[in-house]
Structure formats: structure tokens, C-alpha cells
Chains A and B, each alone.
Chain A
């Protein structure tokens, strides 16, 4: 099992920051720019890790614990999510519930750290993050239910078999759509949140980490990369069936799939504007509705 666990987790730990670079490169191509180097996210992380830190007088240990707990929880959740039909997950019934709640723990750590600064901007971000994920989480659960109902599996490994795009079950195609919307919302991408905006009033995730600096910020950024990897891996797992029959080739295909998801995020960011905040709940409600329709159709069949 360890033999299968290691490549999966190593790929995630090493390649996750590259996802940001891919998104950035896609956006640059759309805009006719050259874009940052692909190694830029790694350089940023290294630079942050070598810096000192500034802490607000208002903060307590909650602020310092936030990045640590959040990164640990995301990494633990990542360990539960399969990639490329390799196996090597803990694989117990309902592991997806634990994964989602681990992500909730990560979110709680960041939200509380944001509130710890006493800044109204960060309170704003915390409030939005909590509210939007309250809507995104049920949609995510519904997606897993649809897949569980169609595959009769109960673990992430059994459920993420790439069945979602099979032509014999067209209703399942709603699942990747929902998962993609949830991915955008949970990772604070356009159209839910704009990570590159210069206006703090409109941000969600970035505004929560205004006060973090040095290694703390590196932990947060790295955690965000791992979280993006996790969601891309889930989306790939749902949509990409084993193509080659050889586990290593399939694994390589899945890693490519993860980067394809990131490229898709880049495309969406290039062609869309950010939604007004009051409309975000409607988008997430749409995601829930899509998944619910898929569920009912799957059950009906």
C-alpha cells in the first residue's frame, strides 16, 4: 500500500504549486502576455519561508496556529483522496465525509485567524468564506452521493472511477459540472472570488490572510495549492476512467488531468468576470440543484 501511497502524495506535494503557475500561464496566453515563469510559485514560497514575520498586537496564539492547523488538515484530507486508480488510500466507508470535514477544519483555522486580527476587512473575508462554503459543502456531498449511488461504492477509491462521463449514463455528466463550480468556489477563483484584484472590499480568501507574513503566509499559500490539487484530483477521478490498463500510465494520465483542470480554471478566469457577491449564493444553489437533479435521475434509473 505504501508503494502506491508515496507517488500519489509526492506528486501532490511537489507539483501542487505548479497549478498556480499553469493557471497564470493560461491567463497570460489569453491576454497576449508572456506570463510569469512556471517556477514562480516555488520561488515565492521559498522567499516567504526565508523571511521573518510581523504579528499584530491584537492577535493571540490562534493567529499563529491558524496556518499550521490549516495546512495539516488539508494535507490529511489530501492523503484520503485517490489519484489515477493507483489505490493506496486508507479507503474506509465514508472517507469522503472525513475529507470534507478536514477541509472544514482547515477553513475554521484560517477563518478564526482572520477574526483574530480584529480587522474589519478580514472579518469580511471570514464571514464570506464561512457563508459560501456552507453552501458549497452540501453540493460537494451531493456529488459524492450521486457517484456512490451509481457505482454502489462507499469509499472515495471506489467512487472516483471516472464513470461520470460515460455515454451510457448521461445524467452523471452533471457531476463534473457541479464539482467544477464547487472547485471554483472552494478555491476562491473567478467567478466567485478574484485572487488578483487590488480591492480588498471584494475579496474573500486573499483578504483573510492580509496580516499573515513570512513562513505563516508560505504555509497558507502552500495549503491553498494543495487544496486546489485535491479538488482537481477529485474532478479528474470522477471524469477520467483508467485508459491504459497500466497503473503507472493511468497515473501519469491523471496527473495530466489535474493540470488540465487547472488550465480550465485559467480559461474560465480569462473569459469571465467576477460575479457580484450577492449572486454567488445563486451560483452555488445552481450547483446544488444540478447535483440534486443528477441524484434523482440516477436513483430513478
Chain B
């Protein structure tokens, strides 16, 4: 615990130092150094000592309400791992990315907010008091606004950070309401008191609180339909910021939800189903939207929505199982959710940082302007490929274990009690498989079109790998992806300790969860062994191939292309054409519109095809709603007309009104 407080202190000192450094040259060194030091200390505090031990402390900091109580348990540690791990990686990567921005931007301020975000996130995950939690939550929600708006001379960036701010605060309002109502019930703000409260408020009150928590925390996690800020904010933010936001910050929404469930007592059956449904909606809609995107960072943002959906599917399944007294479903659901959460942090951080390197090298992340980068940026290419293969859940990489646990949990659905439950669980299994297939298309497209083939623009043709100093930080999450597959049982054991916290409310299930986790662990061990066998086999085959080719003529020639003699880079498959077979089937349902200006006549001249992915929720729900609000506000402008004498009349009227009221 001392170590953790020390880490917080280092981060606070780093924030202050960065702010002081301001525009000076030292800012871009000072900030990352403090951030990395704080993160390493934090990692040590998280990993040293027993993982599931509950430690607590009270900081000597007078709050008007409540106390500055902090603590660590397995659940907090699990979520702290990506914060500190990815925090250090992103700080290192950000340092090189920002090195040439020193003249036009205040890097001290940037690092101040980055470290503040780290600090606030650590505090959110460690807070054991509602008031402290809410303060940290608010800081954590505000700091990214300043990080996203780094390139604030671009109008799109300003708009994106604005959308982020609105979304974050709408979510925060629900979180605030949630805690205020809880507080009203218990009279205390400590988490221990809130947990003890249980379902004292009656079933209706608990359900209302659950909905508040789902909306409030779901907005942070980017659950459909509160996801609109992710595809707006991630492409706008600098890549090390989007990597951190997507790999670590949105996890806080899941954390909040799990903690909130702990306060509300044993769940109703429909809570689990609602979570499962929301997860399926996010998963399916997220991946379908991602499929239509041609901007890599926007695609990654939608993919985060999809992955948060998978995590929510796991939570929902866990809750359903816990409620029904099915230890297998309960344990495997939660294990799957938490394992996938850790995996997602690793590969999504890696992919965003990789996208950042593409942007840095070519000035664009539009797939239709990229291509051939594997030849020109071999290092970045390998790292991005590792990330893409992990997110496609290909064994033997890390993404497979989490999804396997989710599949395993849901597959036992036929043992559920009622027919509807069985169909619900097995239907979710089917949906999970469909999501998996679509993710495959999505990331085969992302890696294949950006890195393979011929460059589609001059900028892509001239691209080259960044200096090793910029690539080393990316190797850390890549390494986690590589060994995470073989070390899946270890990752799962971390998740298991964290899953005990939400399961503690269901004694019948939690008694057996350790046995279930052991079974799951042995399955993951078998999978890891098959993975090892696969690697060995591939090695043998590679040797065989080399032996077969020895002494034989190997020629280098141009691509065959079926006899066509003048192939052009622009004739290659593009982002829209690659996903055409899928979007022809599901495109209209997710808002992909095609405008075709077909060639006609005997001597056709020009033709054009434009494929535009639109977010239906954004276009048909959020935009009209906010337009309505804007119009209502415009109406209120009648009062604000700029005529001073009428303003004085308002003052007089209010005074008279107050006097009359007092009479």
C-alpha cells in the first residue's frame, strides 16, 4: 500500500513538474520520465505481494464529505494493471511522437493532463469512498478533453473533443445520481457501508439504481447506444492518447459497473439478461460499423465498442449464472470478461500505437491511401500484425483465451433451466461466433490493405520505419500478446481472484467457482500445449520448405495478375471493395449507403461509386435530439438580447418578486 501511495505521489509530483516546465524543452522529457516512474512504481505496488489480499489506507486529506479512503483488492489490481502498464508504454511512445511538436504546442500542459489522467485513474480504481471516487471520476473524465484537443487548430478535433466532453458529463450525471441515492439510503459514503446496505432499499429501488449505473458507467465504456464519443474522439486524439483511452480508460466503465453490482445485492435475473443483450448489441453493431470504416483509427474505435460488448456479454452471463446457481456459467462468464479485458488492453493499445506510427510515417490513416507498408515499415508491420492476429483471436496469440472462456461458459447453456434461457445463452454463443467471423474480415482488411500489396499513394510509397526508440515501447504490448497465449492460465488466475469479488454475493456459486476455474485452467493449458505444438510444426514445415527450395531456381518477377501487363496500384482491392460481400448483406442495416453513378451508353465516360458508412444512432437519434436541445436553447435567447435597459428591468423584476415572496 505504501508503494501505491508513493506511486500516486510521484504522479502528482510529475503533473506539477510538467505544468511548471510549460513550453520549455525539458517538458517532453520531464513528463514521460515522471509518468514512467509513477507507472513502474504502480506496477510494483500492484504485482508485489499477494494478488488477492485486500489492503487499505486512509490518506491524510480532509474532504468535506466522506474520507480519502483507498484500498487495493484483486478487482482493483486487475484494472490497475493496464492503467500502469499501458500508461508507461503510451508515455514512452508519446515522447517520441511529440518530439517535433514542441514549438507550436504547450507540451508541459499536455503531459500535465496525461499524468493527471493516470493519477485520477489510479485513484478511481483504488477509491473506497463514494465522494473520493466521484472526484477522481470527474478528473478522469475531464483530463482526456484536453488530451483529445491537442491539435485544436483543426475544427474536426475541436468538434470531437466537444462530443467527448458532452458524453462524459452526461454519463457522470448518472454516476452522480447513483451514488447520491445510495448515500441517501445509507447515510455513509464508505464503500464498506454501501456494500453492507445490500438490497435494503427494496427490489424496485435496486433495479432503478442498476439502470442508473448501467447508463452512467456504460457511457464511459462506450456501450451501445452511448458509444458515439469513441469513433469521434479516437481518430482526433494523438495516438498515444487514443491507445491509453481505448486500452485503459474505457475499462473504468466496466470497473464501475462491477463495483456497483456489489452495492446492489444479489441481482435480479433480468439484470444479467439486460447486460447480455447490451453486450450483444454493442458487439454486433460495433463490429458491423467497424467493417464499413476506411479510417484505421475510427475502425479501431468501433472495435473497442465491440470488445467492450464482449466483456459485457461475459458479465451478463456471469450474473445470469450466479443468479441461477450455475457455477460453471457464472465463473466462466466472469473469467472470460476479465481475461478478455486484459487481452484487449494489450492488443488495442498496440494497434492504436501502430496506427500512430502509420500516421506519423504517411500522414494518413485512410486505408485507401495506404498499402505496401510491410516492405517499407517492416518493424511496425510485424507489431501491427501481432495486434491484428490477437484481436482476430487466432491461436496461439493472446486474444483467443478470453473468447474461448466466453464460448465455454455459454456453450453449457443447454444445461440451463428453461427453454428460453437455453435459447438465449446458446443464441449468444452463435452471436459470439458471428462477431468472431466479422472481426476476422475487419482486421484482415486493416492489416492486409494498409501493409500489403502496392502503395496506393505517394506518401505510402515513401514511408519508412521510425527510429528504434519509437518502436521499442510497442514491443512491450506485442510481447504480452505473444506470450499471453501460452501463458493464458496465468492471466486467467489473475482474473479468477478478481471474479471472486462480484461472486461473493452468491455463496452457493462462489463455493464452487474455484473448482470451475481449475477446470478452465486445465483447458487453457491444453490449448497452450496445442499452440506450442503448432509453433513447432510450423517451424518444421518452414525448414522443409527451405530444404525443398535449396538448389532450385527461385525467380523474382512481377505479380501474375492473370496476364494483364500493366497492373496499377489503384487497381488493387480497396477498403470498400474488400468488405463489399459482407456489407452487401448487412450494410443497409448498419447505415452503409452506396451511391453509384453507373457508366451508361455505348461509349461510357465517367462513373463513380461512393460508399459511406454512417452511424445510424448518431444520425437518427443523437443528432436530432441535440438539434432539438439547441433549438430550445435558441428560443431562450429571446431573453438575452443585449439591451441593457431591459436587463435592468429584469433585476428590478426579480427584486420586486423576492420582496413580494418575503412578505
Contacts and interface: CB of A to CB of B under 8 A. Distances in A.
Given A52-B552, A52-B555, A97-B407, A120 B541 contact: no
Interface stretch (A61-69, A256-264, A266-274): A61-69
Decide if the interface of chain B is mainly helix, strand, loop or mixed: helix
A194 B47 CA distance: 56
Contacts of B419: 299-300
B567 A92 contact: no
Contact of B393 (A72, A101, A123): A101
B617 to A, nearest CB: 23
B440 A120 contact: no
A75 interface: yes
B430 A112 contact: no
Interface residues of B, number: 81
B453 interface: yes
Interface string B412-451: 1010000100110010011001101110110011011100
Given A68-B542, A94-B523, A120-B572, A281 B548 contact: no
A62 B621 CA distance: 44
Nearest to A144: B411
B25 to A, nearest CB: 39
Contacts of A286: none
Contacts of B573: 115, 120, 123-124, 126-127
A176 to B, nearest CB: 19
Contacts of A101: 393-395, 400, 404, 436
Contacts of B560: 56, 117, 119, 210-211
Interface stretch (A19-27, A132-140, A239-247): A132-140
A97 B404 contact: yes
A145 B394 contact: no
A71 B522 CA distance: 27
A73 B430 contact: no
Given A90-B530, A115-B448, A126-B448, A55 B556 contact: yes
A108 interface: yes
A288 B375 CA distance: 40
Given A112-B447, A148-B411, A130 B440 contact: yes
30 contacts: A58-B453, A62-B452, A68-B545, A72-B534, A76-B530, A79-B530, A92-B526, A93-B519, A104-B394, A117-B559, A118-B371, A120-B567, A120-B571, A121-B562, A123-B573, A123-B577, A126-B444, A128-B581, A131-B579, A134-B441, A141-B433, A145-B414, A145-B430, A210-B560, A211-B560, A214-B552, A215-B544, A215-B548, A281-B584, A281-B585
Interface of A: 49-60, 62, 64-65, 67-69, 71-73, 75-76, 79-80, 90, 92-95, 97-98, 101-102, 104-105, 107-108, 111-112, 115-121, 123-124, 126-128, 130-135, 137-138, 141-142, 145, 148-149, 152, 154, 200, 210-211, 214-216, 219, 277-278, 281, 288, 292, 295-296, 298-300
Given A59-B559, A94-B404, 9 more contacts: A53-B549, A54-B556, A55-B554, A95-B526, A134-B440, A142-B430, A211-B559, A277-B581, A300-B419
